[in-house]
Chain A
């Protein structure tokens, strides 16, 4: 008897499986292996730190994508929640172990989201964009003036414990070999990326996840079939804020020092650029976007001298500063991708995959 093709989906359960086909499973194994081995191959501290920041950004971007890509709400306030996560870590990180301060940061972020969300989300339309825009400014004021928590303008050091049982991520010992802080953090961050990605991927397959997508596609129709649009929008905002706080907590603990200048509008815009470039409504796309866009500021900072016209020091040669160049690139990426490739890098990837799936008979 002829076997059905391996890509043929025959029932609903099979359709829902995350890693259903053999190539997908092979890809998963390859990805895990690559992430586990990468820090041993790449030992340069600069590249490791770029990859760590990319991982932290990926966590935050997955959170924003849940809200923007799956629920269709625009938030400019991601920077606020990331900052909140970092300060919570600075506050409790030295007293609590890793498995407690990380959830604490998530909890505080989620609570803040639950307080702020209802203002904007019980209304139809894009009020959230404007309210969260205000949130960034209110937050910046708060961070500059709440000296006890944030150290005011001069910033505060974040001293968080990063050990889990016998493993200290500052100094990982594995089979007699000792790995550096950057290598340890790489593993920590990317394991968390995997956890958050799985969490969100699973969330969007459940009833609440489907409800979010229904609200995004047509809120009125969603309400007709019994989805409480306001409640689900607020729920998505809460989860997204919690994930953003986790990203902030990681950011703070890795950088060991945070100042209020970091949580500005540009950071939020960077996250928006990431989810748009990566692909709205795909978890995989957020990670792709984080790799391409999240690494840009660090790369420009490092290789700014080589780019013509870029001014790397105050009063130096060139017509555009590093900061302004980042800003312009984010803006251009947002516009170009929305106009020419609204499905983002994930869409391009899917197209390539579809092409080779039916190769040589694709047309």
Chain B
């Protein structure tokens, strides 16, 4: 039982990272109809920026996180402004391809600047743990879950009550009607990208602060967040969070019981569990757990 709860906790921590990234996917998908493959690159960029702020500039970790999120948001918005603005009116297809291209530019760029070596981010959490009745909680994991919860709540409040959040919802619902009401689509798109990039950067720094440290392959975590987006429903922010947690739990439990239950499936089968789960969901509930069903008549 202890082992099971321990695995669930690990899954929850992993799942909250997925949730942050998937939330970024959904924000961009809802407002622009684009699947943003560059999220992994932005995540890695945010993590490395956080490393630079914390280790090289010796800022306190909280400030480093904020600065990393802000810088990543600027990069995201800048990318939207410089490249994607030119693609307005083009089919989403071309824009998706561009984000794939961006992902494959960002990754080598990061290795060119920071190198291939594994870095340790200077942070207050480290590998400290808290023990509660036989269960061991990593301080970093607790913070990740807490920060994710706070960000998700803040995100929903922003969407629900702020005028910019309302503008974003309207643009997602009907871009032309939004324009007719005087809502600036440019602003909405730029803000969506900034939010997505900041969420990715937060997830990246939280990942990098863990015992695994920071290596160029950190961006791959974002690819595993795609299943989270599909499991939850592509157009549902709440679904993204739910999907992230479900995927994280599934992955952590598979890893935890690898030797007992899944040895037949080969080493490290947990890595592909998110994708297998996604295929199952596509079979039984193609629009995701909380997504809206695509209704159309021909």
A positions within 8 Å CB-CB of B: 72, 74, 76, 119-120, 122-127, 129-131, 133-135, 137-138, 141, 144-145, 220, 223-224, 266, 269, 272-273, 276, 319-321, 324-325, 327-328, 330-335, 338-339, 342
Contact = CB atoms under 8 A, between A and B. Distances in A.
Interface stretch (B53-61, B190-198, B262-270): B262-270
Contact of A220 (B92, B107, B223, B298): B298
A335 B93 contact: no
B282 interface: yes
B93 A119 contact: no
B105 A335 contact: yes
A134 B268 CA distance: 15
Contacts of A224: 298
Contacts of B94: 338, 342
A138 B86 CA distance: 35
27 contacts: A74-B93, A119-B279, A123-B286, A124-B296, A126-B96, A129-B37, A130-B35, A131-B278, A131-B282, A133-B223, A134-B272, A134-B275, A134-B278, A137-B275, A141-B268, A144-B267, A145-B265, A220-B296, A223-B298, A266-B104, A269-B100, A272-B97, A319-B112, A324-B111, A327-B108, A333-B101, A334-B101
Contacts of B5: none
B98 A338 contact: yes
B201 to A, nearest CB: 20
Contacts of B109: 328
A72 B294 contact: no
Interface in B37-77: 37
Given A127-B230, A324-B111, A119 B105 contact: no
B234 interface: yes
B103 interface: yes
Nearest to B101: A334
A137 B266 CA distance: 14
A325 B83 contact: no
A131 B97 CA distance: 15
Contacts of A120: 282
B98 A339 contact: yes
A333 B265 CA distance: 38
B272 A138 contact: yes
Given A130-B278, A335-B105, A338-B101, A123 B223 contact: no
Nearest to B38: A331
A334 B230 contact: no
Contacts of A119: 279, 282-283
Which applies to chain B's interface (DSSP): helix, strand, loop or mixed? helix
Interface in B88-138: 90-94, 96-98, 100-109, 111-112, 116
B276 interface: yes
Given A328-B104, A331-B108, A335-B83, 15 more contacts: A129-B35, A141-B269, A144-B267, A224-B298, A269-B100, A273-B101, A320-B111, A320-B112, A324-B108, A328-B108, A331-B105, A335-B98, A335-B101, A338-B94, A339-B83
B226 interface: yes
B234 A125 contact: yes
A321 B111 contact: yes
Contacts of B179: none
A27 to B, nearest CB: 30
Interface of B: 35, 37, 83, 86-87, 90-94, 96-98, 100-109, 111-112, 116, 223, 226-227, 229-230, 234, 265-269, 271-272, 274-276, 278-279, 282-283, 286-287, 294, 296, 298
A147 B156 CA distance: 48
Contacts of B266: 141, 144-145
A309 to B, nearest CB: 8
A131 B268 CA distance: 20
Q: Which 8 A-B pairs have the closest CB atoms?
A: A134-B275, A145-B266, A334-B101, A331-B104, A324-B108, A331-B105, A328-B108, A335-B101
Contacts of B274: 134
Contact of B275 (A129, A138, A144): A138
A298 B107 CA distance: 21
B97 A276 contact: yes
A130 B101 contact: no
Given A331-B103, A331-B105, A335-B83, A124 B294 contact: yes
A220 B195 CA distance: 32
Contacts of B35: 126, 129-130
Contacts of A138: 272, 275-276
Contacts of A123: 282, 286-287, 294
A300 B268 CA distance: 33
Nearest to B105: A331
A138 B106 CA distance: 24
A145 B267 contact: yes
A334 B100 contact: yes
Contacts of B97: 74, 272, 276, 334, 338
Nearest to B103: A331
Nearest to A335: B101
A333 B275 CA distance: 29
B272 A330 contact: no
B218 to A, nearest CB: 15
Nearest to A324: B108
Contact of A325 (B91, B98, B108, B269): B108
Contact of B112 (A127, A130, A131, A324): A324
Given A74-B97, A141-B272, A324-B111, A130 B105 contact: no
